[in-house]
């Protein structure tokens, strides 16, 4: 779901400063808090509020006492590279904030691929790796092809034909560098279920009904009450839903096996772990097989071809479409970020109130941005 900028919003820098203070209250050193806040605000800027600052209360709880999340975050920990060779590395997230683990893993992948042409980097014990597209953008901005296969030990999604929650929303993400051809890298970043579980939390917080196509029940129906779904009713459908869910299921299984084998981390069915995400990142230098100009020409050719698609007007375009224009993956996020930088980031009033209440709880009233004046959970 992409944000609506009609009502304006908060300036990214102010939100980042506020988020940093809240994360410091969870025991994060200033540099860690700053990096995590930067990732969360970037998710808000790019329209993925499910992985933005609305996560802070659960991160703070997971850092202070592990109560509200499946895993505990060690707010002072830093990920480490535990093994490395000419084309591979393994990063131990060490239960630090997952945004640090993701950043470390992608930076090692970039350095390795710049040196050797290709890189395979596993990351494990990474708490919550956040918005996986951030890692694709980071590698593509450095001129590399990138792929991420990620999973965790949550259970929210049912295999096709079932309504039993059995595995997680196992995201995959791919990045394609565009150099000077476009203002943004091509980035596909998606859950392998109909939707990321974090989006159901957003719907529940707003009191909005879930679309029918997202969930399934034992009776073959769906759960539209988002709060009931959050309380355990039904299950998320794999991507492709009731008609072609076997494809999303297949992608999810591949993400878990590719991710777990490359990271030497347990998958579902092995020893239970509640240490959040694991995954495998691949980075490839495209100039191994051509030059930068060829990459630019290919991206532009495909984009122009797709842009010439005819739209009849009678075909429903879905919630994230931009009218009668076909976009490349990553383009909606680019447009949303551009609007957010111009007009401010639009946050849901309930999320703002929850962040302000958290600030008050930690004696940080003075850190609340003036744009949020008067926001409390009772509003």
Residue number, 136 or 354, with CB nearest to ligand NAD: 136
Q: Is 195 in the site for ligand NAD (CB under 6 A)?
A: yes
How far is C-alpha 315 from the geometric centre of its chain's CA atoms? 29
Stretch that binds ligand NAD, among 60-68, 223-231, 324-332, 348-356 (CB under 6 A): 324-332
| CB of residue 154 to ligand NAD, shortest distance in Å | 8
Up-side HSE of residue 104: CA atoms within 13 Å toward CB? 27
Helix (H, G, I), strand (E, B) or coil at 377: coil
By DSSP bridging, strand 235-236 and strand 118-124 are: unpaired
Paired tokens of 115? 């040196």
Q: Is 254 in the site for ligand NAD (CB under 6 A)?
A: no
Tokens 């939100």: give the residue: 15
- C-alpha–C-alpha distance, residues 187 and 135, integer Å: 10
Q: Is 131 in the site for ligand NAD (CB under 6 A)?
A: yes
Residue number, 238 or 330, with CB nearest to ligand NAD: 330
**Site for ligand NAD (CB under 6 A): which residue of 82, 83, 320, 376?**
320
| CB of residue 126 to ligand NAD, shortest distance in Å | 9
Q: Is 110 in the site for ligand NAD (CB under 6 A)?
A: no
Residue number, 169 or 354, with CB nearest to ligand NAD: 169
Q: Is 178 in the site for ligand NAD (CB under 6 A)?
A: no
Site string for ligand NAD, 196-235 (x = CB under 6 A): x-xx------------------------------------
Q: Is 88 in the site for ligand NAD (CB under 6 A)?
A: no
Q: Is 49 in the site for ligand NAD (CB under 6 A)?
A: no
Residue number, 61 or 188, with CB nearest to ligand NAD: 188
- C-alpha–C-alpha distance, residues 122 and 132, integer Å: 14
- Output helix, strand, coil percentages for the chain, rounded to the nearest 5: 45, 15, 40
- C-alpha–C-alpha distance, residues 100 and 38, integer Å: 11
Tokens 């941005």: give the residue: 369
Up-side HSE of residue 310: CA atoms within 13 Å toward CB? 2
Q: Give CA separation, 360 vs 38, 164, 278, 355, 368, in Å.
A: 22, 40, 34, 9, 9
Q: Is 128 in the site for ligand NAD (CB under 6 A)?
A: yes
Q: Is 335 in the site for ligand NAD (CB under 6 A)?
A: no
Residues between 51 and 70 with contacts to ligand NAD, criterion CB under 6 A? 51
Q: Is 171 in the site for ligand NAD (CB under 6 A)?
A: yes
Q: Is 245 in the site for ligand NAD (CB under 6 A)?
A: no
Q: Is 80 in the site for ligand NAD (CB under 6 A)?
A: no
Residue number, 226 or 375, with CB nearest to ligand NAD: 226
Q: Is 156 in the site for ligand NAD (CB under 6 A)?
A: no
Q: Is 141 exposed, middle or buried (0-12, 13-18, 19+ CB in 10 A)?
A: middle
Instruction: For the sheet with 88-92, list strands across it.
Output: 80-84, 88-92, 118-124, 277-284, 145-152, 172-176, 186-190
By the criterion CB under 6 A, which residues form the site for ligand NAD? 48, 50-51, 128-133, 150, 152, 169, 171, 173, 187-191, 195-196, 198-199, 277, 320-321, 327, 329-330, 332-333
């Amino acid at each position: 779901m992409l944000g609506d900028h009609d009502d304006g919003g908060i300036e990214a820098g102010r939100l980042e400063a506020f988020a940093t203070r809240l994360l410091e209250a969870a025991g994060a050193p200033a540099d860690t808090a700053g990096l995590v806040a930067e990732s969360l605000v970037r998710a808000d800027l790019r329209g993925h509020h499910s992985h933005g600052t609305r996560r802070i209360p659960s991160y703070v709880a997971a850092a202070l006492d592990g109560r509200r999340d499946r895993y505990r975050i060690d707010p002072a920990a830093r990920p480490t590279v535990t093994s490395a060779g000419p084309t591979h590395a393994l990063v131990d997230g060490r239960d630090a904030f997952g945004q640090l683990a993701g950043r470390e893993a992608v930076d090692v992948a970039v350095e390795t691929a710049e040196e050797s042409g290709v890189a395979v980097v596993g990351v494990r014990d990474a708490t919550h790796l956040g918005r996986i597209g951030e890692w694709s953008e980071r590698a593509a901005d450095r001129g590399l092809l990138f792929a991420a296969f990620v999973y965790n030990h949550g259970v929210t999604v049912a295999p096709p034909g079932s309504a039993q929650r059995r595995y997680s929303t196992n995201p995959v993400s791919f990045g394609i560098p565009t150099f000077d051809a476009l203002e943004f890298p091509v980035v596909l970043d998606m859950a392998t279920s109909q939707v990321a579980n974090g989006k159901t939390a957003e719907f529940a917080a707003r009191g909005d009904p879930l679309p029918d196509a997202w969930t399934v029940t034992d009776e073959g129906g769906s759960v539209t009450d988002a709060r009931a779904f959050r309380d355990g009713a039904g299950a998320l459908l794999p991507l492709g839903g009731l008609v072609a869910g076997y494809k999303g299921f297949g992608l999810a299984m591949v993400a878990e096996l590719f991710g777990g084998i490359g990271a030497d981390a347990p998958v579902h069915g092995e020893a239970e772990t509640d240490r959040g995400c694991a995954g495998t990142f691949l980075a490839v230098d495209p100039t191994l097989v051509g030059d930068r100009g060829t990459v630019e020409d290919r991206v532009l050719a495909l984009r122009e071809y797709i842009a010439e698609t005819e739209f009849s007007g009678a075909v429903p375009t879905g919630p994230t479409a931009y009218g009668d224009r076909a976009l490349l993956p990553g383009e909606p996020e680019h447009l949303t970020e551009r609007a957010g930088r111009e007009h401010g980031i639009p946050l849901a009033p309930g999320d703002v109130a929850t962040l302000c209440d958290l600030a008050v709880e930690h004696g940080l009233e003075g850190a609340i941005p003036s744009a949020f004046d008067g926001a409390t959970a009772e509003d």
